Chains A and B, each alone.
Chain A
Amino acid sequence: MAETIATVGSTVGLHARPAALLAEAAADYDLEITIALEGEPAEDALDAASVLSLMGLGAEYGQKVVLRAEGDGADEALANLKQLIETDHDAEG
């Protein structure tokens, strides 16, 4: 099981556009990728490809989230998603 911690970089939190971008990116991998707030038990983790789950997660700016995945290419996928989460998408316009 690969695991990485990312800090939410969008000032609006993981809502709206940032959530949509993350869900789209996670859906592109042929992997089950989960997301949870740091400190939450792994069995409560949500599907990172689900925009509804991401919105329900309610991760705010500066909060840490845990990404988990298993299988071929998991490390690379998590590294890419971590970068996506840590970018401030609102600053881009």
Chain B
Amino acid sequence: MSAEFPGIGVVPGRVIAPALSMPETVAAPVAKPAPADTEAEANRIREASAAVHAELRERAETVNGDARDVLRATALMAKDPTLVKTAIKRLSETDAETAIWTVAAETAAQLEKLGGYMAERAADVLDVRARLVAHLRGVQAPGIPHSQEPFVLIAADLAPADTATLDPALVLGLVCEEGGPQSHTAILARALGIPAVVAATGVRDIPDHTPVFVDGGSGILRTEPGATETGLVEAWTETAGRLQSFTGPCLLSDGTRIPLRANVGDGAQARAAAAAGAEGVGLLRTEFCFLDRDTEPSVEEQAEAYGQVFAAFDDHKVVVRTLDAGADKPLPFLTDSDEPNPALGVRGFRTSRRAQGVLERQLEAIALAASKHAVTVHVMAPMIATADEARQFSELVHAAGLPTAGVMVEVPSAALQAATILEEVEFASIGTNDLTQYVMASDRMLGGLAELSDSWQPAVLQLIGMAAAQGAAAEKSVGVCGEAAADPALAVVLVGLGVTSLSMAPRALPAVAEVLSGVSPNRAQQIARSALAARSPSEAKAAVRAELPILDELGL
């Protein structure tokens, strides 16, 4: 019997493959009294430690680069002499599982306290702990299942730690019971180009090896696929060819130009974006220069890094976003980790109140790099809330000898006051992820709030429309650089709301360009009105999809 599981499609694509579920997470052991034979119990710990070390070590050899270093370090943790010795000592009080569990928890807590890079390693210690305890219990190790054959991975939600070992050649599709369009799973699947569906209730009850059909465009999983599904997969494979490449410019059906740019984080990504046909960079995240640093990089060092991005594009535009530290991106020399509410704290442009000179030196570095390259360089500040902040930023940009200043619109006040803000700067770029988080007052990383943290929320669309209309009245451009721009259906809505350019992950360029090329400005406005009239994200999406049959034809 075929069964259907609807969810939210986050990465288009259609596949048929057997399903494999992520193993259950390893639950905390129930403490038992000290064993009668301490030495035998100690040997079980030593044996588990050696086995988990060997397994992680073997897996490290199957990956490259940073992922390999991380796995090697994790493998070392499994046979860490201090961890093993401390756990064995504790066998005078309790059993092996509880000993490992509590000692690893204490170690993780210590690393957590150190913050930054060490705090991230705390998750690795807990992963090792789960593996050790799974081995002691004789159950399947947590993490992505091993298989020789390609499969569709079914999970509750993926943790960032699972992602290092996810092989796109084996994992053909990804379906999660939880999560939302901005969860780790969705972001990872998008980066790897794996068809994915999230928030599909009940999928974890599907027995392993059941053949399933996944459609990451319409957002469903169906068991026991037949001829219909095989036909859908074939149709996707054919049209996917059309969606492989983009060679600009992106034009609406009447010839109106909507530049499609790329979001990039360093020189290598910029080169990849240029190769994918991006019409410049709509968002250069400059954090890459600063993350994992205890001190500020020098002007020369920054200029060299920005120059690598500028060099990837000849005559296009590159929009540089100044340092966006704080909240989920703390920096020891700029941000205060003790804020009770970091998302509403001193972050983005606000850090320049505290750390005098960091922004000035960054602008100096951008100007220095710009002087050596042919690209048009625009600069924008993150987290601008008022016209005064916009003016302060604009003055700093001009003082650095850079001609064009703009702002990010992420704070709802900036969208409401776009007209006065645009008196101070030349352009605005809407960051839909943060704007959605602030409009809906829902943490974008919380899977449980996925239906709130959705840029299809009519309130979010309304605010984007207000900002774009104020931009049009002032004859200044208002773009979007956020996950929303990468969704072809939402891209049509954004253009209909008056957005003048889109910036996205390079992978999304062909599909967005293909869908936009089929609509006129009037048609896009009509479609945007349908979305605004909806009562919920799912209603908005359904209304827009009904007006854009090309999405189903292309399997998007």
Contacts and interface: CB of A to CB of B under 8 A. Distances in A.
A52 B83 contact: yes
B50 interface: no
A15 B73 CA distance: 10
Contacts of A27: 81
Interface residues of A, number: 20
Contacts of B117: 12, 15-16
B83 A20 contact: no
A56 B114 contact: yes
Q: Which of B80, B83, B125 neighbours the largest number of chain A CB atoms within 10 Å of its CB?
A: B80
Interface stretch (A2-10, A43-51, A66-74, A78-86): A43-51
Given A20-B76, A24-B76, A55 B111 contact: yes
A81 B430 CA distance: 52
Given A20-B76, A23-B76, A15 B81 contact: no
B73 A17 contact: yes
Interface residues of B, number: 19
Contact of A20 (B72, B114, B125): B72
A51 B118 contact: no
Interface in B64-116: 69, 72-73, 76-77, 80-83, 107, 110-111, 114
B294 interface: yes
Contact of B73 (A16, A47, A53, A56): A16
A16 B124 CA distance: 12
B476 interface: no
Nearest to A60: B294
B118 A49 contact: no
Nearest to A48: B81
A15 B111 CA distance: 11
Contacts of B114: 55-56, 58
Contacts of B292: 12
Q: Which of B82, B114, B118, B294 neighbours the largest number of chain A CB atoms within 10 Å of its CB?
A: B82
A46 B69 contact: no
Given A15-B117, A56-B114, A50 B80 contact: yes
A15 B118 contact: yes
B523 interface: no
A19 interface: yes
Contacts of A20: 69, 72-73, 76
Q: Which of B76, B77, B110, B117 neighbours the largest number of chain A CB atoms within 10 Å of its CB?
A: B76
Contacts of B111: 52, 55-56
Contacts of B73: 16-17, 19-20, 51
Contact of B82 (A15, A16, A52): A52
A33 to B, nearest CB: 11
B121 interface: yes
Contact of B121 (A12, A24, A53, A55): A55
Nearest to B116: A15
16 contacts: A15-B118, A16-B69, A16-B73, A20-B69, A20-B72, A20-B76, A23-B76, A27-B81, A50-B82, A51-B73, A51-B80, A52-B111, A53-B82, A55-B111, A55-B118, A56-B110
Interface of B: 69, 72-73, 76-77, 80-83, 107, 110-111, 114, 117-118, 121, 125, 292, 294
Interface of A: 12, 15-17, 19-20, 23-24, 27, 46-47, 49-53, 55-56, 58, 60
